[in-house]
Structure 1
Amino acid sequence: MLQLTATPASALADEPVHIRVTGLSPSQVVTVKASLKDEKGNLFLSKAFYRANEAGQVDLEQDPALGGDYVGVHPMGLFWSLKPVKAFQRLLKQDVMNSPFRVTLDLYDSVCFQDPTEDQPRVSQTVQRWFSTPGLQRVQIREGRVRGALFLPPGEGPFPGVIDLFGGIGGLVEFRASLLAAHGFAVLALAYFAYEDLPKQLLEVDLEYFEEAANLLLAHPKIQSPGIGVLSVCKGAEIGLAMACYLKQVAATICINGPNAIFEVPLRYGDLVVRPLLFDKARLQVHVSGAMSIRHCQGGPWEGLNRQSMLPVEKAQGPILFIVGDNDECLHSSVYAEQAMDQLWGHGRSSGRVLVYPGAGHLLEPPYGPLCYASWNPGLTSPLLWGGQPAAHAAAQEHAWGEIQKFFRQHLIPTRSKL
């Protein structure tokens, strides 16, 4: 009897799935396809070709894909190789609490080079990918100026607190915060523009807003003191690094593909104003895909008088983990991380660490999500190029997610001395 099984059929989105096919003819070649529709109706597809063994079985944990969207042994390849049918769409979970992404796995006889959606699959299986666990609580935050969503694990706590910051997409992005909370952290997904009554555009970074958010988090009865962590990417990583430099509440910081200086809009903290470096729009490049690369538009804080825009990384109280994709097509993130480390070392500090991932792009996210090579960003007339090679990017996301959790556990959870 022909069977396609995926175990577990319902799990967190950052958990692996074991896919097997049984009941085939020996050495039969088949196509396994995955499909997913996001909450806006955008369709994402992937496929791979496999040859059954002598027992008529295919096991994605040990059998190599012969072709399709990837080649070789990749147990989760059908998930991370999903691509949008409509170009430049980014897969983003909106409702993280009440509904999962549903990934449909279909098995077809022989090799289907064309999209096999018109054909009837021999057998199918649906997998649910959740972004929250039972007992996880989501609390809408509208206190003072602060806007966001706080995710609390089940139990009394206290839990290590983390602020989660995304970049130029704006609004409130919750999927990473809810997944991290499912692993025992209390995480505040923090909006800072283009959300509710916050400014529609980011015209300056007011660090006092982020300090207010840090104080709010630390004042919560379920949050562990004395300090919080910051998890940040892109423009958020620029802000996260500034928080590490200036805010005493920040005990540990993770910056994913961000700069070590202030760009485009000024940073203000009380009487302090850090003037930004500006993009040289004349150096914009258009990729063959039609997406826009801004990587070459950036000057650097090492260029003469522009050092005034550099963040004083040496003043950070807690440790900093820089996570870098070396195929980042949006920022010179590897250069910025090296410069930040030089700043630390130059002041006798050993509190920084860099993780560089060959072949990884800009949008390093939790594991098994598909690579977004380029996508639309609000307010831009062309899609932005992010970069990344699918298999290498997937491996980076899987490893980095574990490192993120280890880093926060190491630096936010106090060790208890043994009597």
Structure 2
Amino acid sequence: MSDNGSTGRTGERLDRRRFLLGVTSAATVALSGCSGDDEEDDKAEPADSTGGNGSSDGQSDDGSESNGQSAENGETDDLLVTFEHPDRVAVDGPFGMTIGGLPPNERVDVRWGESDRVATTTATVETDAEGTVDLTDATVVDGDVPADLDVPLSVALIQFTEDQTFGFRKSGADSLAYGVDVDGEEVGRTELTRVYPPGTPAIDLQEAHETLVGPVFEPVGREQGPGVIVLHGSGGSPSTGVAAQLALNGYTALALHYFDGPGLPQDLVEVPLEYVGTAIDWLLDYETTTGEQAGLLGYSKGGELSLLAGSQYEDVGAVVSIAGSGVVWAGFDGRGLPETSSWSLDGDPVPYVPYARDGWNESVLQGYQNSFDEATDEELEAATIPVEEIDGRVLLVTGGDDQLWDTERFHGVAADRLTGADGSDFEHLVYDGAGHGIAPPYYPIRRTLDSPYGPLGGTLEANAEASHGHWPHVLESLGTLGPDEG
């Protein structure tokens, strides 16, 4: 990873269905929602780092769990295996786990699963000279998790599970189980509590507002918190799971639905920027929101919209664009490629990069690259978002192997503009081998490579590392909105 701080055109007969479905599906495949409607403890307390609840109880000096368990079979019957780990963890929080009492300098299998089945994912690791394995930096030599992965094994085991539905419909608190095998025999197991985002929003704006649509999640475990609007991609489904995840971190979060919903534009064509402005005003006035500025967090086309709206409204502070664009693009609908912008302002189309004639039948990525290459200097200048006008921290998150559109290039336009502006506070994270599907941690990542209509890019390893690596930067950037008052 590197860290760096108009009219449309026609010509070649396009496979428009492939283009439209490929673009619209991409964001929803990896980001469509990290929580569902399960009726559990939506107001579970945030995770702490104390306690424990494994097979047999004990406390270490630092407050983490220290469990001892004796094996009773064959050559392993003299082992007293211990586990040290937090009692409760947040779903997006990496955590340490140390397993002791194992044979020294031996290969053992560490297994993860839900409490009723502990063999969902397995990694073979090597113990040290004291018979200890620290999952934060364990050396993986075999199993389901790649070697040399820069993600703690405790959560990498979750990312690489074959159960691609795991966690997405959970809410409140649930148990995770970890086990360890020596020579194929289980010699110990432990459990801990994982806290998931709330599954049910506090309100639905479709019922509470005459024009705005989308669920609102209130801060978990506190009375108030800064406001953040989450903007979905071109799939047209609100990013409910991401908003719920932010609520778990103390934010008042609105997953704003801005097209293809009740009372909204049917297509991503000249969507009024004023709609986002109205949402900003509403969120800042909401009873659980603190501060005078709202944050914007967008994925793909939502990233483009976040940067654009942030450059237009003074009430916007931090802006996060994940797999987005620093230039405005033409819109699209279910019937073809409209010769106009994705967005409008004051009733007029926002200047945009028009689509090229060629390349779309080869891939969506090639179509976008050709469009950028063929745009005139005047078109590019007019379509470039004035990101230097954003009154707050800007975070750009890029997959260097994005196969949907050229995020590194399009985000690079914004990064170059911010670099040349006095006083700009920004960060550009480029994960070289990652694709378009950079999602919040720590959920299964095997679906982040492809959509039903085309590749999203990246490798599983790089996507897992990007998921793990970018999220603390997201929370840090949104944290500049100001302290909560809960």
Call closer, same or farther: CA 1:70–1:165 in 2, change over 3 Å: same
Residue 230 of structure 1 and its aligned partner are, at CA, apart by 0.7
1:17-416 aligned within 5 A: 17-35=95-113, 46-68=121-143, 69-72=145-148, 76-77=152-153, 79-80=155-156, 82-83=159-160, 85=162, 93-94=168-169, 97-98=171-172, 100=174, 103-110=176-183, 124-132=189-197, 138-142=202-206, 143-153=209-219, 154-157=221-224, 159-195=225-261, 198=264, 201-265=267-331, 266=341, 267-274=343-350, 276-277=352-353, 283=359, 294=365, 297-298=368-369, 299-300=371-372, 303-304=375-376, 305-307=378-380, 308-344=382-418, 350-371=424-445, 372-376=447-451, 382-388=453-459, 390=461, 392-412=462-482
Call closer, same or farther: CA 1:20–1:360 in 2, change over 3 Å: same
* 1:329-381, Cα deviation, whole Å (9 max, x unpaired): 333222222212333455656344423334333333333344453243xxxx5
Call closer, same or farther: CA 1:232–1:108 in 2, change over 3 Å: same
- Give the root-mean-square deviation of aligned CA atoms: 3.8
The TM-score normalised by the length of structure 1 is 0.76
Counterpart contact for 1:141–1:150, Cα < 8 Å: yes
Residue 179 of structure 1 and its aligned partner are, at CA, apart by 2.7
Call closer, same or farther: CA 1:6–1:270 in 2, change over 3 Å: farther
Counterpart contact for 1:301–1:309, Cα < 8 Å: no
Counterpart contact for 1:94–1:174, Cα < 8 Å: no
Call closer, same or farther: CA 1:258–1:152 in 2, change over 3 Å: same
Q: Quick one: distance in 1 between partners of 2:351 and 2:431?
A: 31
Query: In the alignment, what sits opposite 2:28?
Result: none
Counterpart contact for 1:234–1:258, Cα < 8 Å: yes
3-state SS of paired residue (1:215): helix
Moved more, 20-29 or 172-181: 20-29
Q: Which runs of 4+ in 1 moved over 6 A?
A: none
Call closer, same or farther: CA 1:301–1:183 in 2, change over 3 Å: farther
Q: Quick one: distance in 1 between partners of 2:303 and 2:141?
A: 39
Q: Quick one: distance in 1 between partners of 2:84 and 2:359?
A: 48
Residue 273 of structure 1 and its aligned partner are, at CA, apart by 0.7
Q: Quick one: distance in 1 between partners of 2:330 and 2:125?
A: 49
Query: In the alignment, what sits opposite 1:417?
Result: none
Letter in 2 for 1:208: E
Bigger RCO (CA 8 Å, 6+ sep): 2
Q: Quick one: distance in 2 between partners of 1:383 and 1:302?
A: 24
Residue 207 of structure 1 and its aligned partner are, at CA, apart by 1.4
Q: Quick one: distance in 2 between partners of 1:400 and 1:311?
A: 23
3-state SS of paired residue (2:318): strand
Q: Which runs of 5+ in 2 are unaligned?
A: 1-69, 72-80, 332-340
* 1:52-86, Cα deviation, whole Å (9 max, x unpaired): 34554433234311123222486633533634648
Call closer, same or farther: CA 1:9–1:225 in 2, change over 3 Å: closer
Q: Quick one: distance in 2 between partners of 1:228 and 1:393?
A: 29
Percent of aligned pairs with the same residue? 23
Call closer, same or farther: CA 1:345–1:60 in 2, change over 3 Å: closer
Call closer, same or farther: CA 1:128–1:212 in 2, change over 3 Å: same
Residue 261 of structure 1 and its aligned partner are, at CA, apart by 1.8
The TM-score normalised by the length of structure 2 is 0.67
Letter in 2 for 1:129: R
When the two structures are aligned, how many residues end up with a matched partner? 384
